[in-house]
């Protein structure tokens, strides 16, 4: 704490209202800063819904940490305050103890659905972290600007489209870096293709059969004997063309998601 009172001094400490106010301010300011760090309308602990009821817990709202009093689930969150009066030495009664809390109600300060659980510190994202999200076009339009920079609940993030310091991961799958393989030895290296056309060297070893009529015969000779006819010349023949030469699909089974990066 940035403020403290040393109670170890002897001689009778002059405890008064100013001293108590000093003590109260010492933690109210610090806790208010923590509340703002947690965000607005965030659940710090508890506030779990089960069978139409909400459990007790703690939330951060409007720069304050406050308990959430559980009960029946309602559409809205009410911010209430209880006041306890005390009788002073002069027999006058004054409101002294104030307790602010949140609870479900019919008409409140905000919708219960606006409360979001705060992620544990172990799940906090750091610069350069990548994650995939499932969403629709309306969500993208509401939470990212035209360049892909995150706004609203995606502030601090950006779509991995080559803008805002991100690499363009659109339409690509990721591969882990491997210094031993030339295709994957540098961060950000790209490769691969959606389609591929086979070259002759990539074709499996094969051959084609075709039929060729023989040339030759025998002619009778009236004088006796016969004449043999033979054609020793060799010819090179070609079969008809087969195949269309089109590229084939080279895609693995996939599902499309939105890839974003922490800035």
In this predicted structure, the answer to whether residue 235 has a pLDDT above a threshold of 80 is no
85, 101 Cβ separation under 8 angstroms: no
Q: What is the mean predicted confidence (pLDDT) over 4-11?
A: 86
- The Cα–Cα gap between 179 and 184 comes to 7
Question: Which of 3-7, 91-95, 107-111 shows the lowest per-residue confidence on average (mean pLDDT)?
Answer: 3-7
Looking at per-residue confidence, does 78 or 3 come out higher?
78
Name the DSSP class of 184: G
For the cut 90, the answer to whether the pLDDT of residue 237 exceeds it is no
Looking at residue 166, its pLDDT comes to 96
Cβ count near 198 (within 10 Å)? 12
Rounded to the nearest 5°, which phi and psi values hold at 218? -130, 135
CA terminus-to-terminus distance, the chain: 32
Neighbours of 12 (CB within 10 A): 6
> Is residue 61 classed exposed, middle or buried when 0-12, 13-18 and 19+ CB atoms within 10 A define those classes?
buried
């Amino acid at each position: 704490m940035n403020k403290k009172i040393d109670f170890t001094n002897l001689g009778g400490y002059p405890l008064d209202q100013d001293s108590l106010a000093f003590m109260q301010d010492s933690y109210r300011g610090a806790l208010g800063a923590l509340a703002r760090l947690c965000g607005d309308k965030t659940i710090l602990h508890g506030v779990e819904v089960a069978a139409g009821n909400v459990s007790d817990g703690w939330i951060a709202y409007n720069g304050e940490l406050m308990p959430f009093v559980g009960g029946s689930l309602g559409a809205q969150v009410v911010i209430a305050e209880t006041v306890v009066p005390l009788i002073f030495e002069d027999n006058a009664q004054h409101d002294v103890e104030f307790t602010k809390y949140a609870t479900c109600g019919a008409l409140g300060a905000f919708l219960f659905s606006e409360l979001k659980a705060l992620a544990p510190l172990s799940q906090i994202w750091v610069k350069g972290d990548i994650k995939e999200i499932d969403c629709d076009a309306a969500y993208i339009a509401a939470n990212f600007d035209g360049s892909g920079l995150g706004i609203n609940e995606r502030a601090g993030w950006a779509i991995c489209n080559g803008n805002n310091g991100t690499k363009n991961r659109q339409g690509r799958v990721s591969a882990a870096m491997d210094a031993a393989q030339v295709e994957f030895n540098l961060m950000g290296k790209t490769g691969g293709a959606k389609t591929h056309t086979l070259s002759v060297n990539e074709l499996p070893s094969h051959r084609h059969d075709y039929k060729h009529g023989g040339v030759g015969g025998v002619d009778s000779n009236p004088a006796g004997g016969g004449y043999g006819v033979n054609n020793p010349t060799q010819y090179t023949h070609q079969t008809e063309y087969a195949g269309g030469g089109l590229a084939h699909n080279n895609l693995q089974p996939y599902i499309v998601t939105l890839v974003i990066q922490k800035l």
